[in-house]
Amino acid sequence: MSALLTRLHRGLILFNGSLAGLAMMLIFLLVAGNAFARYTYGGSISWGEDTAIYLMIYGLMFGMSWAYLQDKHIGFDLIRRLLPPRWVRWQAVLVDLIVFVVGIGLMVSAVEFIASRGGRTSSSTGMPMWLFQTSMLVGGGLLSLSALVMGALRWNEQLGEEASP
């Protein structure tokens, strides 16, 4: 199971990192193209600014999961430093469980938000708003999955250390 978890972990890092990077690249191209058009042709793409904002939200959701999978997120080192060394990993597993619940909460709130406002259409892009609002659902799902994978990896690591003499 550890090999499967490791492969899933690496695959999620690659998936989230690639999509976060793609979102950043598209934002750059869109904003740069819009600025170029504004200063050379006197006008810009009407849907450019809103699309860049929506891409930024999707990129943030993928980046949040990517950072969590690599432990490159904000942590509470003060609490960790106050704990005895044998409790530090258990604290990390507990944090993973809390993040899992937060991810599920984000998904639930996203479903409620989409149900109440998803029928609207974006005035600038002409696309249904649920396409953009789904970013919260995707982000919550990826964060929950990332927390599960990290918790399972830490749990296996902890059990392996306790089993070794």
The per-residue pLDDT for range 133-144, each reduced to its tens digit, is: 899 999 999 999
Sign of CA dihedral 151, 157, 163, 165: negative
User: Would you mind telling me the total number of residues written for the chain in this entry?
Assistant: 165
Closest CA to 151 of 3, 9, 12, 13: 9
Tell me the per-residue pLDDT of 96-144, one tens digit each, with 9 for 90 and over: 999 999 999 999 999 999 998 868 888 888 888 888 889 999 999 999 9
Which helix or strand (DSSP H or E) is residue 139 part of?
helix 130-163
Work out the angle at residue 61's Cα, subtended by the Cα atoms of residues 95 and 126, and round it to the nearest 5 degrees. Answer: 150
